[in-house]
Structure 1
Amino acid sequence: MPLSWNEIRQRAITFARDWSDASRERSDAQTFWNEFFEVFGIRRRTVATFEEPVRNLGGATDFIDLFWKGRLIAEHKSRGRDLGKAHTQANDYIQSLAREGRHDEIPRYILVSDFARFALHDLEESDPAKATIEFTLDQLPRRIRAFAFIAGYETRRLDAEDPANLKATALLANLHDRLEDGGYTGHDLQRFMVRILFCLFAEDTGIFEPDAFTNFLRDNTRPDGSDLGPQLAWFFAVLNTDYDQRQRNLPEDLANLPYVNGELFAEQLRFALFDAPMREALLNATNFHWEKISPAVFGSLFQSIMEDRARRQIGAHYTSERDILKLIRSLFLDDLRAEFEKVRHDKNALARFNRKLGELRFLDPACGCGNFLVIAYRELRQLEMDVLQTRFGDMPSEGDLRANAQLNVGQFYGIEIEEWPARIAEVAMWLMDHQMNSELFERFGQAKATTPLTRSPHIQQANALQMDWNELLPAGECSFVLGNPPFVGGKYQTPEQREDMKALIGHVSGYGLLDFVTGWYFKAADYIAEHAIRVAFVSTNSICQGEQAGVLWGALLGRGVRIHFAHRPFAWASEARGKHTFTL
């Protein structure tokens, strides 16, 4: 967990005082930067190097003062020297990195300093007025939030067109395909890839120490990849071992790993056999900055690795965050926000509303990789934080937070027929929980611990049209049902899917005309029959027109089902590879 901003600010005050009289670059600069990173609780050597060599346009070798791959170049000068020239020098280094083909290493930030002054340049900021901030050493404590990217607080949610999404997809797909081509397949491959994703995300978001996974791979495995499988199994085993049960002579890089729990690393898998190119594929994945990727798009990443044919047959599609929000806002979020505004000035009513959030239960009976559950959880946690801030102010006591920050991943339930997306849904929920814990920490200076995992989402691998949903979540405990059931037209269903539909609604006249998605409508109607549960599904517009409309809605309305809201048809596009576009 990153340090709180209050702790960072206090460290910055001490740092500014300690370095107020420094002046000589050659003798003091490296110690200055080591202690600068300590302000944020980061050991500089775990993320950045001094004197990184790059070849300039003339062919000679230059040396970057401080280099954090993909994140930061820092150039240092003696007190009173021209910082503009230092900035130009840093830009030249970036050009050199590009000429050498080291595009993944090009940083977002340039930081120049002469001990007494700083200038921070954000190379991705489109507004020139915000792209550069300049301040003096004594102003550092007041400017400290500009360095959120060092502290571990900076996260970016991708839009559908962000090229980082495609980059992350290609890296995971490459690793997956190499392992599969080598004969590592099925359940073991799926579990292995989920663990790898967790580790990639964990080292970039504060669950692990920065670059802990990358450094372990580079420092403890042979270049030919021959020992990588056993070494990864060792790494995973440590993550699954409680602190008091670990051997005392563990290497420091392993001893510092958190205890994860949650059964993510509990199962013993076959060793994955690597060669040199496969090891390189994994190291390439570690070079990507996974903090750029929200858990809400993990479904897109992993569906992109599935075989196109399999994805079409299952009927699985990734729904964008924009479209998920259309559903959850209308289903429950707007009402909860309105209720919060109504009670925010009533102390007792606000406390009851706070408790209500912790009692809600959500079921996605076609959850896929969990995108609907992940985004719903994120939005509810943010609402809960607003409630806590209204009740207790900007600095609530630890006791108030512990007693009233009640929302957790255990309130979320899902059914998914395939093992791989079911496991991704679990991990995506855990990682979103970590992001929300970090946001809680940033806002209030304290937070729930992410590890060990004490609560888990309830994701059951099963055929949702065959199982009784009450076995997973009794209807009397459920608040809302939501999701994106598979879109398979009547003519394209497999024999197994037709059998499921016949067993479920064979008594409905004309049922053979219905799309596969309508099976979830009938299951939901049975599930909520005696309970005040609202349901919302994303579906193809074919169920609201032509022959299907009379068959489906005549049967549903006859059961007492009522429509509370609906969206007009809109273009829907999957973000996975081989994407398809529908109108909903």
Structure 2
Amino acid sequence: MAGLSLKAIEERVAPLAGREMYNREFIFDLLLAYGKPQGNVTRLRNGSLNVAVDPSTEVAQKNVVYFKEANGDPLEALEELKTTPAVVRFSTRFVIATDYVDLIAHDTNTNETIGFPIREIDQHFTFFLPWAGMEKAQYVAESHADVKAAERMGKLFDELLNANPGIFDDVQGRHSLNIFFTRLLFCFFAEDTGIFEDNQFTNAVGSQTQPDGSDLAEFLTELFKALDTADPADKPTHLAGFPYVNGRLFTVTDEQVVPRFTKQARDELIASGKLIWRDINPDIFGSMFQAIVTPGKRSDLGQHYTSVPNILKTIEPLFLDELKEELNQSQGSERRLVRLLDRIATIKVFDPACGSGNFLVIAYKELRKLEHAILERLAELSPSHQVLWADSKISIENFYGIEIDDFAVEVAILSLWIAKHQMNREFREKFKVDIPLIPLKATGQIKAGNATRVDWNEVCPNDGETEIYLIGNPPYKGASEQTAEMKADFLPVFGSSAYPKNLDYIALWFIKGARYISSTQAELAFVTTNSVAQGQHVELMFPGIFALGLEIGYAYTSFKWENNAKYNAGVTVAVISLRNRSAQPKYIFTDGLQIEATNINGYLADGTDVIATRRTKPLNTQLPPMLFGSKPADGGNLILSSSDRESLITASPVSTVYIKRYTGADDFINGRDRYCLWIEPRDADEVRSIPTIADRVKRTAATRSESKKLATQQLANVAFQFAEVRYKPTDAIIVPRVSSERRSYIPIGYLEPGWVINDQAFAVYDAEPWLFALLTSRMHMAWTRAVGGQLETRLRYSNTIVYNNFPVPPLSETTKEKLTIAALRVLDVREYHCEQTLAELYDPDKMPRDLRDAHAEIDALVDSIYSKKPYESDEQRLSDLFELYERMTAEEAASAPAKKTRRTAK
């Protein structure tokens, strides 16, 4: 059943507002308003589905809500409820407390809290939209203080470069400066989190160095040495209060140079120290800090880091959801809980393109949270388990990474240390046991190197039995955008084997990852450009992966990559997981829906592993051929603007018969009028007597003669006509070869006779309106987005792959008539809005209501050709399309030999 619309939910919540009296029934009515099944709510009401600790005052449903009737302050009740083991154990989405006067609610995914009089529930209904499958754009609140801190550090970085000309110009010098900054970052964090005394580092700088900064380099050199010294007696008296850190972070070497400071640089350092670093998010700050110190990346400040919600799209379905489910199933068994604790202690997480470590940091934190929930439950079952609280079993030594940038390696290690300390603080708050971070013992498993050339088993050994999860956001570049260095990385992966030259750069991670996990317990999930699962790239990459015995375990289809950085990248990505074939469920996540699939193919659709390859004729023989438009190859001499046309006709009125309307994709979509000279061979001699036309023909001949292509040179002899002639004097459908991915529909056109379509678009001549309806349907758009591929981020249409492979069932004349009526309705509405261009009409933010409605009629009609039941998503459409495609191609293959036999017999 399709989900409720926003308007419908608003209408269903409205009656809950302004009631004279509220009681326990409120929560059940609220869940029903968001479309929760009546049967589930009934079971929740009668207690059979209620998993609350105290069912007399609480209502709890796994993954949905934990509701509490508060005797006192609802806010106090909520704060107490948020930290209870049951909320973590049941993966509760919303925690609600109310005294039936005021209501306080907390979203555990986004960390947002809201409070309001319960009578005003209708004014705040959007807060609970995730119950209806409408996920909020921001799942997790991320502090902007990280951006401010990075910007402040950027000013310090620039000032130190100016104050130390030439010292940091080479590779070793820049590395030394980078290490210096990781040390500063640790000190700022340490003095705000109890590793150092409060403000110990900043106060020492301000108190023990000159205002002009002249002695600050010497002071910091001495301080770093003290932080690498275990015995306080061996430290200078003024630094004896600083603890021993170790862990290689402050190891003194001759190569580590502390830069000279100016007054301004010292002031910037102290200003950075005054910031509150306690709650810094290492997952985002590391990426932004890396941009600060990387030449040419400052303008990208944080825009390409992967946000927490997007990271969770890799780790939750990959392993975290299953671990939480095991926790739910084990809540009454001490033995199972201890076994689960032992299991998560052995899990290895590996990011083979880890950057500054944000994926690893979030995975580490999530596993620590799970560990805390297990320990809390064990404590509830038996106090004897307090012996487990001596330390965390989750070691950062189980978190592996490969990164080509040596500074990012250092930041990743530092980020894991910071994350560990933050989780240790949470451990102390929960269990009153302090786990000191220093002296640092673990150094992490982050290795510097080019992941395409490094043996991943040397970084993270895979014995086939260990539970290993590969996650990350590897770099992606299309074949035409790859640098020479990137292209050189293909050879180490493929060796002497031939490989497709049009592979995206990220394919190297998928291929190496597939080999790494094949025939083992390991699994992977990467954030990737969505183009790897579209068009020709599916054929290039996935067959080799599937041949290793792997399958796609789950996939998030295309979504905008958004985060809270100062400048948002806003690119379109997908998440693709790979695992060895199993009977485990497979899921497609799209538009807030989780859809179970029988099999997920390379197009991220529920269907068999078929691939739409190029074909020369339509799969359905009822469809007419689609051709490239006519190609002029004329140097612009046969093409006319409106003023050119008027001048030509004024000079020679007889020219009118040789002029036709001319258009291509860009002209057609943006409503530009152009014309062309269209001269048939029989008229070639006659036009030579028209000077204005003859001159243009002569210039066309000269242009073609100068071409480097022999075939074009030979066309100089027929310079009066286009190089490639495909025009026919019939009704025609024009299909742009490239269109904006923002549009719900490609602006396909239906032209009357007399239009010459150029080679920037495809043309269907002898076209009928029913075909226009098919091609402008959502069904065809779903197929196009899946198999058509992209040019940059724009949709790229192909006649041989998209159109010729489009599976269309046999159409009756009655069906064609219905399609024709619906097509004419769209064309009529377009004509009504003729003052607007198609670019304006099909802008998703401006599309007129009547045009949307007309397209909706086509969508419903075309959908009914494929299914008796309405579709809820494009993924369901694709599932039926691929099933039909497989059946039609099989029937075609089966009939081909029979036809050949009959011909031979004749």
TM-score greater than 0.5 by the shorter chain: yes
Cα 1:206/1:366, change in 2 over 3 Å:
same
Q: Which residue of 2 aligns with 1:489?
A: 478
Shift of 1:277: 0.6
Counterpart amino acid of 2:247? Answer: G
Matched, 1:512 2:501: yes
Is the CA contact (8 Å cut-off) linking 1:168 and 1:301 kept in structure 2?
no
Which residue, out of 264, 269, 275, partners 2:249?
264
Q: Which residue of 2 aligns with 1:583?
A: 572
Is the CA contact (8 Å cut-off) linking 1:571 and 1:582 kept in structure 2?
yes
Aligned ranges for residues 144-159 of structure 1 at < 5 Å? 159=141
* CA-to-aligned-CA distance 1:72-92 (integer Å, 9 cap, x gap): xxxxxxxxxxxxxxxxxxxxx
* CA-to-aligned-CA distance 1:147-174 (integer Å, 9 cap, x gap): xxxxxxxxxx9835x4323211211111
| Cα separation, 2, equivalents of 1:362 and 1:125 | 32
The structure with the largest helix share of the pair is: 1
Aligned ranges for residues 191-230 of structure 1 at < 5 Å? 191-230=179-218
Matched, 1:255 2:240: yes
Which residue, out of 270, 273, 277, partners 1:283?
270
Which residue, out of 433, 447, 468, partners 2:420?
433
Cα 1:174/1:395, change in 2 over 3 Å:
farther
Matched, 1:422 2:409: yes
Which residue, out of 158, 168, 181, partners 1:177?
158
* CA-to-aligned-CA distance 1:509-548 (integer Å, 9 cap, x gap): 6622111111001111111123121100000001000111
5+ long unaligned stretches in structure 1: 1-123, 130-156
Q: Which residue of 1 aligns with 2:147?
A: 166
Cα 1:578/1:468, change in 2 over 3 Å:
same
Shift of 1:574: 5.9
Is the CA contact (8 Å cut-off) linking 1:327 and 1:537 kept in structure 2?
yes
Is the CA contact (8 Å cut-off) linking 1:260 and 1:452 kept in structure 2?
yes
Is the CA contact (8 Å cut-off) linking 1:316 and 1:486 kept in structure 2?
no
Shift of 1:125: 10
Counterpart amino acid of 2:510? Answer: Y
Counterpart amino acid of 1:517? Answer: I
Q: Which residue of 1 aligns with 2:855?
A: none
Which residue, out of 384, 388, 391, partners 1:400?
388
Aligned ranges for residues 230-379 of structure 1 at < 5 Å? 230-243=218-231, 246-247=234-235, 250-251=237-238, 254-268=239-253, 269-307=256-294, 309=296, 317-379=304-366
Shift of 1:181: 2.5
Partner SS, residue 394 of structure 2: coil
| Cα separation, 2, equivalents of 1:506 and 1:460 | 23
| Cα separation, 1, equivalents of 2:385 and 2:435 | 13
Counterpart amino acid of 2:511? Answer: F
Which residue, out of 439, 442, 448, partners 2:429?
442
| Cα separation, 2, equivalents of 1:464 and 1:424 | 18
Q: Which residue of 2 aligns with 1:386?
A: 373
Q: How many residues align?
A: 428
Cα 1:226/1:368, change in 2 over 3 Å:
same
* CA-to-aligned-CA distance 1:86-126 (integer Å, 9 cap, x gap): xxxxxxxxxxxxxxxxxxxxxxxxxxxxxxxxxxxxxx998
Partner SS, residue 148 of structure 2: helix
Is the CA contact (8 Å cut-off) linking 2:177 and 2:258 kept in structure 1?
no
Is the CA contact (8 Å cut-off) linking 1:415 and 1:463 kept in structure 2?
yes
Is the CA contact (8 Å cut-off) linking 1:221 and 1:228 kept in structure 2?
yes
| Cα separation, 1, equivalents of 2:384 and 2:481 | 56
Q: Structure 2 length as normaliser, TM-score?
A: 0.45
485-494 or 298-307, which moves further after superposition?
298-307
Partner SS, residue 482 of structure 1: strand
If you compute each CA radius of gyration, which structure gives the higher value, 1 or 2?
A: 2
355-364 or 292-301, which moves further after superposition?
292-301
Is the CA contact (8 Å cut-off) linking 1:158 and 1:294 kept in structure 2?
no
Is the CA contact (8 Å cut-off) linking 1:362 and 1:412 kept in structure 2?
yes
Cα 1:532/1:481, change in 2 over 3 Å:
same
Matched, 1:502 2:487: no
Is the CA contact (8 Å cut-off) linking 1:363 and 1:478 kept in structure 2?
no
| Cα separation, 1, equivalents of 2:461 and 2:113 | 49
| Cα separation, 2, equivalents of 1:267 and 1:478 | 37
Is the CA contact (8 Å cut-off) linking 2:421 and 2:437 kept in structure 1?
yes
Cα 1:420/1:572, change in 2 over 3 Å:
same
Partner SS, residue 480 of structure 1: strand
* CA-to-aligned-CA distance 1:550-584 (integer Å, 9 cap, x gap): 10111211222210000021101366566532101
| Cα separation, 2, equivalents of 1:261 and 1:540 | 40
Counterpart amino acid of 2:244? Answer: Y
| Cα separation, 2, equivalents of 1:410 and 1:176 | 31
Is the CA contact (8 Å cut-off) linking 2:390 and 2:433 kept in structure 1?
no
Counting aligned pairs with the same residue, the percent is 36
| Cα separation, 1, equivalents of 2:454 and 2:298 | 22
Q: Structure 1 length as normaliser, TM-score?
A: 0.69
Counterpart amino acid of 1:262? Answer: G
Partner SS, residue 324 of structure 2: helix
Is the CA contact (8 Å cut-off) linking 1:239 and 1:258 kept in structure 2?
yes
Which residue, out of 469, 473, 476, partners 2:460?
473
Counterpart amino acid of 1:402? Answer: A
Counterpart amino acid of 2:208? Answer: N
Q: Which residue of 2 aligns with 1:95?
A: none
| Cα separation, 2, equivalents of 1:466 and 1:575 | 33
379-388 or 230-239, which moves further after superposition?
230-239
Higher RCO, 1 vs 2 (CA within 8 Å, ≥6 residues apart): 1
| Cα separation, 2, equivalents of 1:351 and 1:397 | 9
Counterpart amino acid of 1:274? Answer: F
Partner SS, residue 292 of structure 1: coil
Cα 1:395/1:282, change in 2 over 3 Å:
farther
Counterpart amino acid of 1:453? Answer: L
Counterpart amino acid of 1:370? Answer: G
Cα 1:379/1:270, change in 2 over 3 Å:
same
Is the CA contact (8 Å cut-off) linking 1:317 and 1:486 kept in structure 2?
no
| Cα separation, 1, equivalents of 2:498 and 2:261 | 56
Cα 1:196/1:551, change in 2 over 3 Å:
same
Is the CA contact (8 Å cut-off) linking 1:158 and 1:293 kept in structure 2?
no
Q: Which residue of 1 aligns with 2:547?
A: 558
Cα 1:298/1:236, change in 2 over 3 Å:
same
Cα 1:513/1:169, change in 2 over 3 Å:
same
* CA-to-aligned-CA distance 1:189-212 (integer Å, 9 cap, x gap): 100000001111111111111000
Counterpart amino acid of 1:429? Answer: L
Cα 1:523/1:245, change in 2 over 3 Å:
farther
| Cα separation, 1, equivalents of 2:498 and 2:534 | 17
